[in-house]
Structure formats: structure tokens, C-alpha cells
Structure 1
């Protein structure tokens, strides 16, 4: 095959297959794009194959394994990040299966590489008093502060993703009862979420402040930076981090370290679970495709309750002495155990 074949089919994958055939969102395509930047970097560093010399034959079972290990050892990526990169590679390989059926054996070996099982991370979130402390750090009297207050209030009360927050336009707000907000989630899926009554006066005030209460402004981004451009993911991360840092200086025990917008989403979900809200409603609010994704919050709540019960039981249940403490024949004890 020609040395340009890889570039040609990669171009077709990104410009035709992903957006038109698969209907992928620009965010997903951008994530996949970065995976192949890393793949080309790996081939350059490990095998001295420059990007303009990569051939289709270089997309081999051996080289994909090398890439996945390189991500963890050289890039120090987590298992979950490695798995995301592997999913992007597999998507490209499945596309190639129809283009090069004669290479099916090689491609099947690649997609057959097992996904690494990542350890379940403990969900980091804030309790209600932590949220109140963080929100109290915002100067609502200032123009920027009012924007930040509305923005963080929406993040907390709806549990929306950052990508959904920065994509809100003025016309997505419905400020007549019942108050709702239209969000555009993953996979071009839209949903309406309820707005709490307490935040409505602040939203009205913010719309007047920004001049968004006029008909010709309905298509404007709801939240903009100081350059009057659409806010970015990095901008939201900075703002949440700024107010969380201020709150931690007052009480570090109730504000998790490195608090982020995604942890605010966890905070919303765990608060709803604590309040006994059904998982189906939480799934719909958060925009999860399956309730199985939402179940992680219920499991975390059960685990937390069990730890609390175990901690309390230590005070009332006498410590149990192991049956084999005074028995030197441990092997004999193991043989008779549970018989």
C-alpha cells in the first residue's frame, strides 16, 4: 500500500464516516482526533516512524498494544483514559473492516484486545453546607459575580455537564411556570430540566444586566467571558476552582480538594439520592442513557451507610476474637472452617 493510504483513510474516517455515518458530535470527534495525534506520536517516539510515513500496515495488533502500554507508562494515563483511547482506535478499525476485508484477521485481533478493568473510584462530592459556603463566596452585587452565581446555581440544581452549560442560549430558558431549561446533551440528545423558583429572580436580573431581555438577543450564548465570546470548558473549570479555593480557606473539611464542575454534578446526584429521589428521575435529570450509569450513586450511598453503621456498631458489639488465635495449627483450622 502507498505511504499516503493511512492519511487518506484517516481523513475519510473523520470527515465522512464519523459525522455523516455515525452522527458523532464535534466533542466526540475532537476526542478521537486527539487519540490519533497520540498514536502518531507513539509511532514516532517508539518506532521512529514519522507521521507522513505511516502506512496502513503500521496499524497492527503489535503496534496497538505498544500504543496502549505507551499511554500508561510514558504518558502516565489512567486505565479509564487508556480505555477511551482504545475505543477510538477500535472505532477506526471497524470502519477499516469494510474498506479492507482482506485484512479482517488483523483487525479482529485489534478489536479483540481486552479492555482493562479500572478500579472503582470513590465518588467525590460536597454536602449541602459545602455548597452554601462556596456560593456565599460570590459577590452577586458585581456584574461578573451575578453571572457566576447564576451559572453555578444552574450547575448545582440541574447537575448538567459543562458542555451543556456552555451551549445554553438565551432562548433555551423558559421563565414561565413551570420554569424549565432546554439542554443539549451527548449524542445530540436534548432534554428539559426544571429550574428552581429561588434562582428565577437572579436569572431575570442577569438577563436585564446583559441586555438579553430583548427579542433580538434570544440566540446569544447565555454565558460569555470578558471578551464577549462563548465560555469554554477551561473557563468554567477556572471559575468553579476559584470559588472552591476561597471556601476551602474558610473550612477545608467540607470542600473537597480539586473541586471541579464534574464533582458538582456528583454533588447534585448524591444529594438527590440522599433525599430518596427515584433513580429513574435522577437518570432523566442528568441525561444518562441508561439507569445503570446512575446506579453508581446509589451504590456509593449504600456503601456510605454501611460504613456509618459499622462505625457505630463498634461501640455496642464486643470485639470478636478469631477462633484460631490460640491455635498454632492454622492449616487444621482452615480445613475445618465453614464445614
Structure 2
């Protein structure tokens, strides 16, 4: 009897050829798909006693995939959003498989029966200006590491960049001699956007470059942020960033209660977006600044700011009394007659 090897053969082609070469997906995107399929493999081995070589599309019906997603939430403690991301990754893979082998179209349709799990709306976490200021005061600028850590946080906030966008930056991405000094950020799906650098940011950048890139040209391919371990220079890792943010967050919270209990890279992005929105910047501009594909994604900031809602409500009161609503037809005889159908 011939072994059905289509699953692991298509997994290989999907991860090694289709995503990186045909779709030109980033390493992080490929990793996300790889992690999903790896978790499915772990589930099949541990829960179903099915080794990877014996996984077939026939086994992966909607009931089993639903069980896998439930396992992610109960055993792996994944959030609903993560569960939905895993399902989306599987659907993309099954769609690819059906395109490569028409006989697998049924498996793709079968997977479509698995619904996306609804999740309760959650508030966007962000820092107040006081909390942000307290956090930025924590690094010791009398040390080289303190200069680096403080500038890293300032750069995260001022550019509103994703953590990976910052870690991937090279000196050549800085365009400091342009009429408007800026940085080129490469985000999801390899889309590049230009973010202007403010004067205060440039001052901190100059201090950072003096200590960490004193002799290098801005056109070089060296990483803007790096670490030196055992004499070897390498790109700074997300774990390294998470470590010092956690440390500074804990110490800053002792001085300022407005510092959140958990300080993480994406918090700076949310904070920047909320501060821009509070200052009156239109959501369409914030969308472009953050590199969102749709303004629908940016809408979360419009629904998150209670202080702006409160201010709007207060504008309807005068000396504690509700401001009387002025009819649109007041002092307009012709409009009143028109509204009544008399003209």
C-alpha cells in the first residue's frame, strides 16, 4: 500500500519554497507558519499518538482541528487572538495545498467549517505622559549601556515602530542629511515607510552614534542596535530588549504608579499612537505613521481614549447645566417654512 506523503511533502514546499521564494515573506512570517505546523505536529504526537510521517489531510478534518485549537487554549494557555492566528495559518496552508493538488480541495473546504472564535473587545494598553517620562528617566546616561537603553526606548516611542522593525534597522536606513531627517522602516510584507525624526530624537541619536558607531558611515550595513557577547558583535535580540524593559519598568513603577505593571516593546507603539490621537492627529495620518494596511486597524485608538470622550461630554454642559440645543431653524423663517412643507 502506497504511503500518502502529501502532507509533509507540501509542508516542506510551503515553508521552504512557496512562502520565502514565491511570496517573498519575511523570516518572521515564515516562522509564524512554521510554529503553527510544529504545534500541530506536537498535538498529533502527544494527544493522538500519530507521528509526523503518518499525518494525512484525511485525518485533519474540522473536528480534529477544532480539538487542536482548544488544546492550544487549555494546555498551552494561548489567548483567543493567538488561537485565531493559528487557524488562519492553517487555512493558508490548506489553500496552498488545494492549489497544488486539486484532490485536496475537499480538505480545504472542510477546514473552512472551523469558525474564528470571537473574543471580547479589550482596551488598548498605553502609558500616560507621566508614566513614560518616569520610565525614560531610569537608564543611567552616565554609562554606555544606559545611553543605549534610553535611546532605544525614545526611538521606539518617537517612531511608533514595531520591535522587529527597530532590531532590523541598519545604519543605511538613517537619512539624516535629507531636507527632513528620517528613517526608513521595513514592516510586515516587506513594506517600507518613511518616518521623520524630530529634533530631540536627533539629539539623542547623535549621542548614541558617538558611543556605538563613532567611525562608521551611515551607508553601512551594520545594525543600528547591537550587542557584544564574548567579543562577538551581533544584532540585538527581542529577549535582550524585553529584559531591560522589564527591569526599568519595575524600578520606575516604585516612583510613579502610572507606569504599567508590564512594560513591553509594543506598549511604546500604542502609547505613541494614543498620544498622537489625543493631540488631534487624524486617524488616517496615524494609520500611515504606524504602517497599518487599513484604517480599521487604527480605529482601536479612537475607541480607547476615555479622557477625550469625557472632554466631549463636558462641552455639552454650561455651569453645571446641560447646554441647550439650538434648533437649526432658529432665526431662519424660510428654512422653517421649507421643513414644514409650506414653501
Counterpart of 1:275 in structure 2 is: 279
| TM-score between both structures, scaled by the size of structure 2 | 0.85
* Count of aligned pairs: 315
Secondary structure of the residue that 2:281 maps to in structure 1?
Answer: coil
- Quote the offset at 1:61 in angstroms: 2.2
Secondary structure of the residue that 1:225 maps to in structure 2?
Answer: strand
2:297 aligned residue (293, 296, 312): 293
224 and 234 in structure 1: CA distance in 2 versus 1, 3 angstrom threshold? same
Secondary structure of the residue that 1:215 maps to in structure 2?
Answer: coil
| 1:259 and 2:263 matched | yes
- Quote the offset at 1:149 in angstroms: 1.7
Secondary structure of the residue that 2:3 maps to in structure 1?
Answer: coil
Counterpart CA distance in 2 for 1:280 and 1:102 is: 44
Counterpart CA distance in 2 for 1:134 and 1:239 is: 11
Counterpart CA distance in 1 for 2:38 and 2:44 is: 10
- Segments of structure 2 that go 5 or more residues without pairing to the other structure are 322-343
Counterpart of 2:206 in structure 1 is: 204
Secondary structure of the residue that 1:33 maps to in structure 2?
Answer: helix
Q: Which runs of 4+ in 1 moved over 3 A?
A: 303-313
Counterpart CA distance in 2 for 1:311 and 1:2 is: 71
The aligned runs of 1:1-339 (5 Å cut-off) are 2-176=3-177, 177-215=179-217, 218-227=220-229, 228-252=233-257, 254-301=258-305, 303-306=306-309
- Quote the offset at 1:55 in angstroms: 2.6
| TM-score between both structures, scaled by the size of structure 1 | 0.86
Q: Cα deviations across residues 251-304 of structure 1 (Å, max 9, x unaligned)?
A: 22x101112111111100000011001112111111111111111101112x44
216 and 103 in structure 1: CA distance in 2 versus 1, 3 angstrom threshold? closer
Secondary structure of the residue that 2:125 maps to in structure 1?
Answer: coil
Q: Cα deviations across residues 223-272 of structure 1 (Å, max 9, x unaligned)?
A: 012322101111112222221111001122x1011121111111000000
Counterpart of 1:321 in structure 2 is: none
Q: Cα deviations across residues 206-236 of structure 1 (Å, max 9, x unaligned)?
A: 2122234433972110101232210111111
CA contact (8 A) 2:62 2:113 kept: no
Secondary structure of the residue that 2:58 maps to in structure 1?
Answer: helix
More helix by share: 1
- Quote the offset at 1:74 in angstroms: 1.8
- Quote the offset at 1:168 in angstroms: 0.8
Q: Which moved more, 1:158-167 or 1:133-142?
A: 133-142
Counterpart of 1:337 in structure 2 is: none
CA RMSD of aligned residues (A): 2.3
Counterpart CA distance in 1 for 2:74 and 2:219 is: 50
Counterpart CA distance in 2 for 1:260 and 1:307 is: 28
Counterpart CA distance in 2 for 1:30 and 1:187 is: 13
Counterpart CA distance in 2 for 1:22 and 1:210 is: 36
Secondary structure of the residue that 2:224 maps to in structure 1?
Answer: coil
- Quote the offset at 1:52 in angstroms: 2.9
CA contact (8 A) 1:93 1:111 kept: no
Counterpart CA distance in 1 for 2:162 and 2:297 is: 15
CA contact (8 A) 2:15 2:30 kept: yes
Counterpart CA distance in 2 for 1:216 and 1:159 is: 22
